[in-house]
């Protein structure tokens, strides 16, 4: 039977991976929820306010972008603008060439994943090493991250230990302590060898030009202590207006991502190091990336640009938990990815148009979203767009008959009465593939069509009699 690509991924997923993803995404849920709901006087107001601040910023980017640029320049940062992935990659390469640099240590950044920076740089003879433990493992395995906060949620310790052995990082030992200690030993030399530390940014404050970067591992801090040049790549939607907004966003980000009050290393960076400071970059570049964000800004789905990349929506999503991140075939998985990825795909929208459909619209993602993004509504808008554009939907049963029935009251009534026949038809013999697939793991209850209408009629009479 024909099926949507995401369904095929979910169906063919190895059991071991399915369990790893299911465990990894559901564990810690109580801790995250408690840290969000029980610590504050009005937790819901917190996230609604954060959502409005981001929405306000997005709708005034024409003011905020030049403002933040002005501040950054005043702080001694060299600002670059990149319309698309290619422009951003070229800009990074240009900075490398200009400085005769050939080694980068990278801290985790979704924007650089999005522009596929590392494969490009490697082709140009530049070593670009991921330093976040999970991303490092993804890199040595030539794999892709499957979660935006927990990149190797799909892997277990045995596979990681085998990879380390293969890469010459030590004999097989799958204890997480050993794995971590070996990465520590290997990576700390690399921080000192590289000339460039490359990072993303979690927030960019318009008022001061300070960029904020959070990591638990402290790898971004090491990137910015060992190297001479800092390059940051950030989407234009990362701006927040004022410094005073920081506690709100930092609090929501740490709690929503991992249930922490604050992420361990929260760095506020506004330029090159001070004179007298022996360590760290004396040169800082910031690349402001569009890459279709302005298209999203013009669309009915602009709310998705509020996203602060906490990963909460994928952790709670029943579809993500079963399908894993790779089923989304793009950099951003889960509910946020189901909205963002098809939109960032440009004219390849049809290839990812199945993602918004892979949802029961249960709304769990909206409930946990720290910036209150109405993800289910956005999914519906994208389904509508796919329909309008005539994107094929393999595996979806034809709905024409249903539409006809549901829009004609008389036909509806007749079919309610006739539906009783279904109680006597052997359903598993009906040769409709979609029905068969549905029936594979489900039982239909006995047909009771029309019962409610009957009840309503009697009820209305009784009520009428009373008055």
Do residues 239 and 64 lie in contact, with contact meaning Cβ atoms separated by under 8 Å? yes
Q: Which window, 120-128, 288-296, 310-318, 404-412, contacts another protein (CB under 8 A)?
A: 288-296
Residues within window 111-140 making contact with another protein, judged by CB under 8 A: 131-134, 137
Q: Which window, 247-255, 323-331, 420-428, 455-463, contacts another protein (CB under 8 A)?
A: 247-255
Q: Beta-carbon neighbour count of residue 80 at 10 Å? A: 19
Token pair in block for residue 113? 């994943």
110 touches another protein (CB under 8 A) = no
Residue 38 Cβ vs another protein, minimum distance, rounded to whole Å: 6
d(CA 85, CA 427) in angstroms, rounded, equals: 52
272 touches another protein (CB under 8 A) = yes
262 touches another protein (CB under 8 A) = yes
11 touches another protein (CB under 8 A) = no
Residue 415 Cβ vs another protein, minimum distance, rounded to whole Å: 43
Residues contacting 131, CB < 8 A, separation 6+: 105, 106, 107, 187, 190, 191, 217, 219, 222, 223
Q: Which window, 45-53, 113-121, 315-323, 331-339, contacts another protein (CB under 8 A)?
A: 45-53
Residue with tokens 């997480």: 176
Q: Which is nearer to another protein, 261 or 360 (CB)?
A: 261
d(CA 194, CA 227) in angstroms, rounded, equals: 6
- From candidates 95, 115, 152, 204, binder to another protein by CB under 8 A: 152
d(CA 134, CA 202) in angstroms, rounded, equals: 18
267 touches another protein (CB under 8 A) = yes
Number of residues interacting with another protein: please give it, by CB under 8 A: 100
Do residues 61 and 68 lie in contact, with contact meaning Cβ atoms separated by under 8 Å? no
Token pair in block for residue 83? 């319309």
Do residues 287 and 234 lie in contact, with contact meaning Cβ atoms separated by under 8 Å? yes
Residue 22 Cβ vs another protein, minimum distance, rounded to whole Å: 12
32 touches another protein (CB under 8 A) = no
d(CA 324, CA 226) in angstroms, rounded, equals: 36
Do residues 159 and 152 lie in contact, with contact meaning Cβ atoms separated by under 8 Å? no
Q: Which window, 10-18, 235-243, 400-408, 429-437, contacts another protein (CB under 8 A)?
A: 235-243
Residue 161 Cβ vs another protein, minimum distance, rounded to whole Å: 9
219 touches another protein (CB under 8 A) = yes
DSSP SS3 for 148: coil
Residue 126 Cβ vs another protein, minimum distance, rounded to whole Å: 20
DSSP SS3 for 202: coil
14 touches another protein (CB under 8 A) = no
188 touches another protein (CB under 8 A) = yes
376 touches another protein (CB under 8 A) = no
- From candidates 17, 110, 140, 246, binder to another protein by CB under 8 A: 246
Residue 400 Cβ vs another protein, minimum distance, rounded to whole Å: 34
271 touches another protein (CB under 8 A) = yes
Residue 359 Cβ vs another protein, minimum distance, rounded to whole Å: 25
Q: Which window, 165-173, 278-286, 389-397, 425-433, contacts another protein (CB under 8 A)?
A: 278-286
65 touches another protein (CB under 8 A) = yes
23 touches another protein (CB under 8 A) = yes
269 touches another protein (CB under 8 A) = yes
d(CA 372, CA 43) in angstroms, rounded, equals: 12
Torsions phi, psi for 71 (to 5 deg)? -65, -45
Token pair in block for residue 262? 């604050």
CA distances from 183 to 32, 39, 137, 217 (A): 28, 35, 9, 12
235 touches another protein (CB under 8 A) = no
Q: Which is nearer to another protein, 270 or 415 (CB)?
A: 270
423 touches another protein (CB under 8 A) = no
d(CA 349, CA 396) in angstroms, rounded, equals: 18
278 touches another protein (CB under 8 A) = yes
d(CA 242, CA 40) in angstroms, rounded, equals: 22
Q: Which window, 4-12, 150-158, 385-393, 412-420, contacts another protein (CB under 8 A)?
A: 150-158
268 touches another protein (CB under 8 A) = yes
Alpha helices in 275-317 (DSSP H): 293-298, 312-316
**Closest listed residue to residue 125, CA positions, set 93, 98, 95, 99:** 93
Residues contacting 100, CB < 8 A, separation 6+: none
258 touches another protein (CB under 8 A) = yes
Residues within window 295-314 making contact with another protein, judged by CB under 8 A: 295, 297-298, 302
For residue 140, the surrounding DSSP H or E stretch is helix 133-140
Do residues 151 and 167 lie in contact, with contact meaning Cβ atoms separated by under 8 Å? no
49 touches another protein (CB under 8 A) = yes
Residues within window 336-375 making contact with another protein, judged by CB under 8 A: none
């Amino acid at each position: 039977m024909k099926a949507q690509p995401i369904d095929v991924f979910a169906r063919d997923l190895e059991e071991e991976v399915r369990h790893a993803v299911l465990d990894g995404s559901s564990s810690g849920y109580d801790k995250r929820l408690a840290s969000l709901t029980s610590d504050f006087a009005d937790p819901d107001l917190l996230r609604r306010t954060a959502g409005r601040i981001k929405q306000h910023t997005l709708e005034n980017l024409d003011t905020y972008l030049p403002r933040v640029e002005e501040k950054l320049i005043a702080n001694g940062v060299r600002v670059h603008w990149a319309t698309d992935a290619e422009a951003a990659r070229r800009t990074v390469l240009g900075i490398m060439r200009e400085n005769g640099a050939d080694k980068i240590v990278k801290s985790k950044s979704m924007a650089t994943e999005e522009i596929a920076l590392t494969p490009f740089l490697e082709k140009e003879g530049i070593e670009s090493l991921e330093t976040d433990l999970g991303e490092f493992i993804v890199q040595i395995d030539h794999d892709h991250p499957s979660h935006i906060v927990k990149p190797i949620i799909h892997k277990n310790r045995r596979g990681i230990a085998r990879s380390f052995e293969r890469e010459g990082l030590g004999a097989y030992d799958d204890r997480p302590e050993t794995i971590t200690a070996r990465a520590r030993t290997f990576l700390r030399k690399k921080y000192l060898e590289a000339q460039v530390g490359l990072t993303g940014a979690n927030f960019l404050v318009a008022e001061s030009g300070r960029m904020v970067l959070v990591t638990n591992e402290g790898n971004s801090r090491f990137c910015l202590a060992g190297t001479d040049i800092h390059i940051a790549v950030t989407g234009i939607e990362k701006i927040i207006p004022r410094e005073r907004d920081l506690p709100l966003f930092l609090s929501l980000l740490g709690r929503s991502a991992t249930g922490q009050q604050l992420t361990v290393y929260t760095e506020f960076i506004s330029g090159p190091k001070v004179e007298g400071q022996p360590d760290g970059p004396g040169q800082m570049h910031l690349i402001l990336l569009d890459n279709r964000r302005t298209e999203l800004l013009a669309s009915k789905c602009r709310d998705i640009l509020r996203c602060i990349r906490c990963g909460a929506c994928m952790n709670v999503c029943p579809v993500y938990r079963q399908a894993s991140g790779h089923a989304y075939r793009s950099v951003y998985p889960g509910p946020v990815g189901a909205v963002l990825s098809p939109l960032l795909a440009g004219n390849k929208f049809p290839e990812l148009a199945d993602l918004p459909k892979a949802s029961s619209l249960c709304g769990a993602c909206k409930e946990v979203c720290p910036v209150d993004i109405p993800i289910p509504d956005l999914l519906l808008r994208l389904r509508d767009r796919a329909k309008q554009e005539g994107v094929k939907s393999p595996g979806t049963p034809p709905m024409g008959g249903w539409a006809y029935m549901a829009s004609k009251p008389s036909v509806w009534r007749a079919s309610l009465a006739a539906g009783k026949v279904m109680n006597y038809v052997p359903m598993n013999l009906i040769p409709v593939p979609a029905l068969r697939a549905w029936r594979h793991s489900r039982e239909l209850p006995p047909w009771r069509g029309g019962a409610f209408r009957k009840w309503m009629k009697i009820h209305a009479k009784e009520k009428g009699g009373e008055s």
